[in-house]
C-alpha cells in the first residue's frame, strides 16, 4: 500500500496540468497554422503529398518510422513555427544575477521577455521574412543560431520539443496522406492573429476533406 504526502499530490497534479496545458494548445495551434498555410499554398501541399506517396507508397498508412524521410514536411513545420510561433513571447524569465546581454546591462531581478515573433520576422536574419518559404530550411541542421526559437532555449527551454515535432509531423502527414483538402471558399485562409498568451487566430480554420481514392487500398481488410 502506497501513501502520498499532500505536497506530493499537489505538485504532481500541478506538473500534470502544466505539461497538459503546455503541450496541447501549442501543438494543435501549430497543426492548424501548418494546414492553413498549406491550403493557401497548393504547390506546397502537392509537394508534401508527393513526398508522402513517394516514400510510403499507396498500399499502407504511414508510421512513425517514416517520419525521418519526410524532410519537406518537416521544413513546412519549421516555417510554420517561424511565422506563427504558438508562444510568441516565450515565457518570462527573471535574471538571477547582474549580466550584460548584447551590450545592455541587465540588473539582477529584471524580468526578461523574448519576442520570438519579432526575431522570427527580423529582415536581418531572414530573407523575405513574411513569405512562406519552407525551402529556406533545406540545408538547416537544427542550429538555433539562425534565429528560430519557438521552443525557447537553455535550461528552461521546452522539454516537449522533440515529442511535439514527432506528434505534429505524424498527425499532419496522416491527414494529408489520407485526404484531399480544400477550403469551403476556395480562397486563401485568413491568418489574422488574435490576442492571448498563446497566439490564437481571429477566425478558426474551416476545411473540407474527401478520402483520397489512391489510398482506398490501404483501408481494405
Reported in sequence order, the residue ranges of the chain that DSSP labels E, i.e. its strands, are: 93-94, 99-101, 104-106, 111-112, 179-182, 208-211
**Shortest CB 216 distance to ligand HEM, Å:** 32
Considering beta carbons, is residue 41 or 93 the nearer one to ligand HEM? 93
162 binds ligand HEM (CB under 6 A): no
80 burial (CB, 10 Å; 0-12 / 13-18 / 19+) is buried
**Site track for ligand HEM across 75-94, x = CB under 6 A:** -----------xx--xx---
Annotate each residue in 23-62 with x if it binds ligand HEM (CB under 6 A) or - if it does not, as one string.
x--xx--x--------------------------------
Does 200 contact ligand HEM by CB under 6 A?
A: no
E strands present in 88-206: 93-94, 99-101, 104-106, 111-112, 179-182
- Judged by CB under 6 A, which of 60, 108, 156, 203 binds ligand HEM? 156
Looking at the chain, the number of H-run helices and the number of E-run strands are 6, 6
Using the structure block, give the residue that is written with the C-alpha cell 513545420: 77
Residues that bind ligand HEM (CB under 6 A): 18-19, 22-23, 26-27, 30, 86-87, 90-91, 150-153, 156-160, 163-164
Amino acid at each position: 500500500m502506497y501513501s502520498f504526502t499532500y505536497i506530493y499530490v499537489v505538485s504532481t497534479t500541478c506538473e500534470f496540468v502544466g505539461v497538459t496545458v503546455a503541450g496541447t494548445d501549442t501543438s494543435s495551434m501549430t497543426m492548424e497554422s501548418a494546414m492553413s498555410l498549406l491550403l493557401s499554398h497548393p504547390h506546397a501541399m502537392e509537394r508534401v503529398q508527393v513526398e508522402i506517396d513517394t516514400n510510403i507508397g499507396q498500399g499502407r498508412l504511414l508510421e512513425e518510422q517514416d517520419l525521418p524521410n519526410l524532410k519537406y514536411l518537416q521544413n513546412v513545420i519549421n516555417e510554420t513555427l517561424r511565422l506563427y510561433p504558438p508562444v510568441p513571447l516565450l515565457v518570462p524569465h527573471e535574471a538571477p544575477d547582474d549580466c550584460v546581454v548584447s551590450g545592455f546591462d541587465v540588473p539582477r531581478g529584471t524580468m526578461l521577455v523574448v519576442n520570438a515573433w519579432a526575431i522570427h520576422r527580423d529582415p536581418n536574419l531572414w530573407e523575405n521574412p513574411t513569405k512562406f518559404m519552407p525551402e529556406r530550411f533545406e540545408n538547416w541542421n537544427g542550429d538555433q543560431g539562425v534565429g528560430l526559437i519557438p521552443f525557447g532555449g537553455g535550461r528552461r527551454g521546452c522539454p516537449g520539443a522533440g515529442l511535439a515535432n514527432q506528434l505534429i509531423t505524424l498527425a499532419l502527414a496522416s491527414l494529408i496522406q489520407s485526404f484531399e483538402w480544400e477550403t469551403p471558399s476556395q480562397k486563401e485562409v485568413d491568418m489574422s492573429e488574435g490576442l492571448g498568451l498563446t497566439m490564437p487566430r481571429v477566425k478558426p480554420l474551416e476545411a473540407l476533406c474527401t478520402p483520397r481514392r489512391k489510398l482506398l487500398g490501404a483501408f481494405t481488410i
